[in-house]
Structure 1
Amino acid sequence: MYTREETIRRMNALGRAEQPFFFVISHDLEHNLLVEPAGAGEGRTAAFALPLGKMELKGEAPALPERIRFTPSPCSMSRYAEAFSSVRKHLLRGDSYLLNLCVATPVETNLALGHLFRFARARYRMLLGPDARVPGVHGRGCVCFSPEPFVTVRGRTVSTFPMKGTAPGATPEARQWLETDEKENRESATIVDLMRNDLSMVAAGVRVKRYRYISPVETRGGAILQCSSEISGTLPEDWRSRLGEMMMKLLPAGSVTGAPKEATCRAIAEAEDMERGFYTGVFGFFNGRELDSAVTIRFMEEAGEGMVYKSGGGITVMSRMEEEYREAIAKVYVPFDL
């Protein structure tokens, strides 16, 4: 486990040496893992799957149970309303313009971490066993099947893809609502502006290449629509030797915190009754030349006899509490057929 400063130094050194490694950075940036494929995680149970590289679980793939159980027990609307009221005070006062509020949902299931890692349909997947201890994980394992890339680097082109905006269902009506709703449009505009400014700290010629493109995401209850944007710039020639500095300048990810970051993170800590841990951090792979990373959302961790699923959504002064509650609960799913 590495602190923020240790992570910067180690990532810089590995980048300079063009040495491949996987990484997981926690939401608070202070509890991080760097896993070199040759070392197999130094005894830790870890697995990753990203477009640039994979590290598989050891042993045979577990068979799915014949009858799968996946029963969420969402927090009450009244409990969510308390947290919503807390963040709304900050929004009305102008401390924040957009804030990502998250909740923890207990899930009773007979699915194991290995099932979720191996069978989830997602481009970005991660599993950490119980030997990867960090606040918010409590010495238990966790798994992530993320639909949201964070930063990719190809050559010297760095790109980020903030995801902001969700519509239940994948109908023409849902698409039209997502494209035209004022609150969803403002969320996208705020987060794109934030991420464009963030990327400008490490890259030149930053521009928005695609604004508010909509993609379907499969869930256990059918497809939903999610809205993303693509922002790109050009890194300096020596970016690999400054890889750790670059990542820490861009974190925590704006799409899962809000704007402005510092004040918004304080409001989040005041409102949420959970430690985020690895949830809403990032994980990724550097192959020695290029980089893939993803935001650690769609996240479950072990908790007693079941699991806890962490989810959330963006809140603005235009948000309606009941709608935001339903969105946070709708995101409690696993992306394969149940």
Structure 2
Amino acid sequence: MNRFKVRAKISGFLILLQHGMKGRRTIISEMNERGRKKEAFVFVIDFDTTNVKLFRPDETDKIWWQANNRSNFAQPPTDEKEIEWETQPVSFGHYKKGYDLVQHHIHNGDTYLLNYTQPTAVQTNLSLEEIFHHSGARYKVLLKENFVCFSPEIFVQIDAGKISSYPMKGTMDASLPNAKERILNDSKELAEHNTIVDLIRNDLSLVAENVTVEKFRYLERLKTNQRDLWQVSSKISGDLPENYTEQIGDIIFKMLPAGSICGAPKKKTVEIIKAAENYERGFYTGIFGYFDGQNLDSCVLIRYIEKQQDKLVYKSGGGITFLSNAESEYEELVKKVYIPVFKKD
């Protein structure tokens, strides 16, 4: 039996529960109504779009967040204690079982790009709150007693009716010789990036007109607690209708799940992801966003640590194509398990 999600307003925020299209339509309508009234809100949506939370921007007892230069928390003084950081990724054998299934579907023509992820157990002397405050990132989210995320990846931004997306595909250790040239000239990375740019362009075309690729494959350097990384991104933009604020919920949900963290074609690829990964992503690879009543800033929930009872689990992965190598992809998954720690001058 298909049980509908139900809506519950508690202290100004809304939670979706259970499964069903009726619940999803309710949350979309709620977001549209807030957009019509030009009311600010923040939101968190899980990968499956079955768990959605809306908050007032100032609900600091439930969520801390930062979206570029906007935030709802005060940065406390951070101590200089030595950070303990140990990781226990899944074995290569375990990883390869899912990887081989993905490759089977790629060679069968069911998908041509799939974002394959796995969990890594983490031991550290930092709490989720301390990780949040120690991390330097464009976007930071702490859902109390649930997860912390320090994401470098924009989902979409809306500024005065213009919507833009910045898909990130391609990561390389910046300390390697000629790392910038190597990542830009890597045929596998180029094919993966081309696919994602095409997918995001199609996604934006569902909600906007005059969609164009403004910048293609530019580099950003990310600092972490273990190493610096080069990350490759592109910028794609389009024009929204005049009354877009009244459709803000529809606009967001039409583009989910985010193309960069599932693959193409979306529907079939998500089915393969669930079979290959064999674990629950939860809020990982979902999205977070801040709507100020007119403009929107949002991110993809990657670089993500989840609290599971008394344990911490870091979830990471990467895009798989027919050109992929299992050992290299496993190494990338492991290298993405880091904290982008603030370093004082």
Output the TM-score relative to the length of structure 2: 0.90
Q: How far apart are 1:64 and its partner, in Å?
A: 4.2
SS of the aligned residue for 1:247 comes to helix
SS of the aligned residue for 1:334 comes to coil
Equivalent residue, structure 1, for 2:10: none
Say if 2:297 is the partner of 1:292.
yes
Distance 1:323 1:307, change over 3 A: same
Q: How far apart are 1:273 and its partner, in Å?
A: 2.1
The answer as to whether partners of 1:52 and 1:292 remain within 8 angstroms in 2 is: no
The answer as to whether partners of 1:13 and 1:241 remain within 8 angstroms in 2 is: yes
Question: For 1:298 and 1:51, how far apart are their aligned partners in 2?
Answer: 16
Number of matched pairs: 323
Aligned residues: CA RMSD: 1.6
Deviations 1:148-167 (A, max 9, x none): 01100010110000101111
The answer as to whether partners of 2:135 and 2:342 remain within 8 angstroms in 1 is: no
Equivalent residue, structure 2, for 1:104: 119
Q: How far apart are 1:117 and its partner, in Å?
A: 1.4
Say if 2:324 is the partner of 1:319.
yes
Name the amino acid aligned to 1:61: P
Equivalent residue, structure 1, for 2:226: 221
Distance 1:337 1:247, change over 3 A: closer
Task: Give unpaired runs (5+ residues) of structure 2.
Answer: 1-14, 17-22
Of 14-23 and 47-56, more deviation after overlay is shown by: 47-56
Equivalent residue, structure 2, for 1:237: 242
Aligned to 1:192, which of 183, 197, 215?
197
Q: How far apart are 1:116 and its partner, in Å?
A: 1.5
Aligned to 1:94, which of 109, 116, 126?
109
The answer as to whether partners of 1:160 and 1:230 remain within 8 angstroms in 2 is: yes
Q: How far apart are 1:52 and its partner, in Å?
A: 5.6
Equivalent residue, structure 1, for 2:5: none
Q: How far apart are 1:299 and its partner, in Å?
A: 0.2
Aligned to 1:76, which of 88, 91, 97?
91
Question: For 1:112 and 1:100, how far apart are their aligned partners in 2?
Answer: 28
Of 299-308 and 189-198, more deviation after overlay is shown by: 299-308
Equivalent residue, structure 1, for 2:142: 127
Deviations 1:195-250 (A, max 9, x none): 00110110010000000111111111221101010000000000000000000011
Question: For 1:257 and 1:48, how far apart are their aligned partners in 2?
Answer: 24
Question: For 2:181 and 2:205, how far apart are their aligned partners in 1?
Answer: 32
Deviations 1:112-153 (A, max 9, x none): 1111211211010000113xxxxxxxxxx2000000011000
Q: How far apart are 1:306 and its partner, in Å?
A: 3.4
Say if 2:158 is the partner of 1:153.
yes
Name the amino acid aligned to 1:50: A
Aligned to 1:13, which of 33, 36, 52?
33
Question: For 2:324 and 2:285, how far apart are their aligned partners in 1?
Answer: 21
Name the amino acid aligned to 2:121: P
Equivalent residue, structure 2, for 1:177: 182
Q: How far apart are 1:110 and its partner, in Å?
A: 1.1
SS of the aligned residue for 1:248 comes to helix
Question: For 1:64 and 1:324, how far apart are their aligned partners in 2?
Answer: 35
Q: How far apart are 1:337 and its partner, in Å?
A: 5.7
SS of the aligned residue for 1:100 comes to strand
Question: For 1:286 and 1:170, how far apart are their aligned partners in 2?
Answer: 38
Say if 2:39 is the partner of 1:22.
no
Question: For 1:206 and 1:90, how far apart are their aligned partners in 2?
Answer: 31
Deviations 1:16-70 (A, max 9, x none): 11000010011001100110135x27xx52111012631227xx83754723211
Distance 1:172 1:65, change over 3 A: closer
The answer as to whether partners of 2:136 and 2:342 remain within 8 angstroms in 1 is: no
Output the TM-score relative to the length of structure 1: 0.92
Task: Give unpaired runs (5+ residues) of structure 1.
Answer: 131-140
Matches within 5 A, 1:237-276: 237-276=242-281
The answer as to whether partners of 1:84 and 1:321 remain within 8 angstroms in 2 is: yes
Question: For 2:32 and 2:177, how far apart are their aligned partners in 1?
Answer: 46
The answer as to whether partners of 2:45 and 2:287 remain within 8 angstroms in 1 is: yes
Name the amino acid aligned to 2:140: R
Equivalent residue, structure 2, for 1:134: none
The answer as to whether partners of 1:64 and 1:111 remain within 8 angstroms in 2 is: no
The answer as to whether partners of 1:95 and 1:264 remain within 8 angstroms in 2 is: yes
The answer as to whether partners of 1:101 and 1:268 remain within 8 angstroms in 2 is: yes
Identity of aligned residues (%): 42
The answer as to whether partners of 2:303 and 2:337 remain within 8 angstroms in 1 is: yes
Q: How far apart are 1:90 and its partner, in Å?
A: 0.7
The answer as to whether partners of 1:65 and 1:110 remain within 8 angstroms in 2 is: no
Question: For 1:325 and 1:230, how far apart are their aligned partners in 2?
Answer: 28
Equivalent residue, structure 2, for 1:56: 73
Q: How far apart are 1:172 and its partner, in Å?
A: 5.9
Aligned to 2:129, which of 114, 121, 130?
114
Name the amino acid aligned to 1:45: K
